[in-house]
Structure 1
Amino acid sequence: MKKMKMKVASILAITLLSISILSYGVNNSAFAANSFIEASSSSGSVGNGDPLVISGSIVDYEDAGHALTFQIISPDNSIVQIGQVMGNIGSDGTFEMNLTAGGPLWKTAGEYTVKFFYGPTKGDATVNYAGGDTPSTPEPTAPEPEPEPTAPEPEPEPTAPEPEPEPTAPEPEPITCGAGTEMVNGICQVIAEPEPEPEPQCPAGYSFRDGVCVEDGGGCLIATAAYGTELAPQIQLLREVRDNTVLSTASGATFMTGFNTLYYSFAPTVADWERENPMFKESVRAFITPMISTLSIMTLADDGSEVEVLGLGISVIALNLAMYIAAPALIGFKVHKSLKSRK
């Protein structure tokens, strides 16, 4: 009897998982077919430190409470900046973002792509950056043609002597203004300094950098949306493992760079779905809680120990593969075998 109940529970779990996957595909396709983002840069070619203005609109915009986020991708497909477009989006879906071009990650000159995400809606714009290093290759030059023989120039005819210029009055000496003043209509006036614009107030956990509000230290968007707050113990555990253990080694820092590139390509969209659908939020929380619990194993490694961090990291990955892939596959195989034996 107990074995029969376990089989029925396994079949129900597989059915619910299939329904959720199918509903996700249908909803995403229906929304993406009618909505997209048009954006362009009005700054032309920019150099290091130049202001960069990007404006656009969300076609078929509906205010669903999404956050408009962006990524800036370099010509070599590396993420150089991640952030959120602050301020209200217009009722017709229009928006504008002010940035400052350049920085430590803007290393190569060329076309930079700015990708925008508003829920499942996507769009991009290109920026021509001329402030980085560009490889220079010598251009081939054509051989110079040999000069053709020219006829001897005729001797110039004698001309009448030019008249002497009439004496002119001496020009007045220019007036030099002192420091902090400028010449206005022939009068030295004090230069009025413009008042600095106040920085916009960013929400908790964000800092104002390069004209936008960016989440401090990067954020685990999916887990934060699932647990409802950044102060949850599970979020604190993720940050402790990332900052104190993984990033304390060179291999861990390399892993985090590649992981962030993949993670931030879909995390803002999934986090928006969690905020919109409480049932989906609870499903994500139940799905990631065992994985977050296994990460506590990483706290056993000494800070800066490449061998311990690498060994425990591989163990955690293997444990999650067994828990999320091998175990469901084994249960499915057992259920299939049992159903086949009854026929």
Structure 2
Amino acid sequence: MKILFVLLLIPFLMVPAFAETQTLPTEKNTLDVKLTYDTIEPGIQTKINIDFINPQTQKVQEHIDYTVVVSKDGETVFGPIPLTHTSLGSVKIPIEFNRGEGVYSMDFEVEGILFQPIPRETVSFDIQVGEANAQPITPPEDNNDENNGENGGCLIATATFGSELAPQVQQLRELRDNTVLKTNSGITFMTTFNQFYYSFSPVIADFEREQPLFKEVMKVTLTPMLSSLSLLNHADIDSEQEMLGYGISIVLLNLGMYVGIPIFGILKLYQFRKN
């Protein structure tokens, strides 16, 4: 049983472990705002991924009107941008944190949802820039980043799809953080398996960068697995038993695709040549 669960966790471990997230509600809890970003160094442009989440459905809320400003010690380093509309509910903003190391403030104002104006709601994040940014300043209560694994460089999924912000990598990160790490068994296996995974993943990622053909092979190889994992987006997982049940189902599906179908094809080819 443990082996099946470990197999389920393998793709989630391809997600860059150094990505940081913060999620905070607006002042009246109408929306949750989620930030995702990688290591931030002063003076280097960093893309901040912003998701506006409906707290009732835990899905990204479309059609949001918002403004944002970033400052440090009272000095503005980005914005304020004019009232902006995002139809997708997710945006990526490149920001250069150019006032040295320390704590920056990223302040949002939300003024509309689904083309309807709402009373202005605000939310403010503290972002640590520099060596001390290994952990978010204000993580959510159920943040399990300490269990996500070791810090590292470019890993398999990032090397395959070219960026930590690629949709496929974002999908894996969301499933890992919002589904697998919501269960005690998921946290336990993730922590244990990370030690094994990081012993070989940097080598594979480096080889992908050196061999474009191998990178394309990995992309084709991972695509069916990503498609099967997307089924979890439509599942309501509220307990350890449900997580285990869905996990076993996904593992069996992938075993059928990656092992069963090739073996069946080889046997058919063998029978054809024998006749």
- TM-score, with structure 2 as normaliser: 0.45
Larger RCO: 1 or 2 (CA < 8 Å, sep 6+)? 2
Higher Rg: 1
- TM-score, with structure 1 as normaliser: 0.36
